[in-house]
Amino acid sequence: MARQITQRRRQDRVGFIMTPMIDMVFLLITFFTLVCNFEVAEKIKLDLPHPDASEAQRDRDKDRVVINCELADASNPASTAVLYRVGPNLPEPLDTIMARLAAAKAANPDLRVIIRADRRLPFSSVREVMQVVAKQQIEIMNLAALLKTEQ
């Protein structure tokens, strides 16, 4: 009889199951990690000096070319004229850019091109640059759309 009473007491105990709570904590950690924006810490604006006679070179510039596509008159929404620049250089016609890409491809077969385009541009203007890159048989091409903001 005493044995039955102790078995009932053991069965009547209320236990606290931790497994579902641990699962919820991990789900919340995963959710907040994915939703959190870490990009803000990386985009600190710095005013760096630009010496005139600097001999410093960036090694990664040798294997990539950045082509910027922007509206010629950003203040006029009806404007369709497009300016093409290789990096920070002055605007150039697509034929000149094609010749530059051919020379860069000959110097570095692993060349990659990054096309940065103002999102207000029609896709046909960006497609022209993509076709110029394809004619040079450059296999790696990235496309980034941006809205040029006045500062």
The DSSP string of 12-31 is H------HHHHHHHHHHHHH
pLDDT given for residue 36 in this prediction: 78
User: Alpha-carbon distance 148 to 7, whole Å?
Assistant: 75
Residue 89 phi, psi dihedral angles, 5° rounding: -70, 170
pLDDT given for residue 26 in this prediction: 94
Give the per-residue SS3 of 41-88. HHCCCCCCCCCCCCCCCCHHHHHEEEEEEEECCCCCCCCCCEEEEECC
Question: What does the pLDDT profile of the chain (151 residues) look like in tens digits?
Answer: 556 655 665 666 677 788 999 999 999 999 988 887 666 555 566 666 667 766 665 555 567 888 888 887 777 766 778 888 888 888 888 888 888 888 888 888 888 888 888 877 888 888 888 888 888 888 887 777 655 555 5
CATH fold of 59-146 = Nucleotidyltransferase; domain 5 (3.30.420)
pTM score over 0.75: no
Q: Which two tokens stand for residue 22?
A: 């641990």
The ranges assigned to domains in the chain are 2-35, 59-146
Q: Is 129 exposed, middle or buried (0-12, 13-18, 19+ CB in 10 A)?
A: buried
Number of helices (H), then strands (E), in the chain: 5, 4
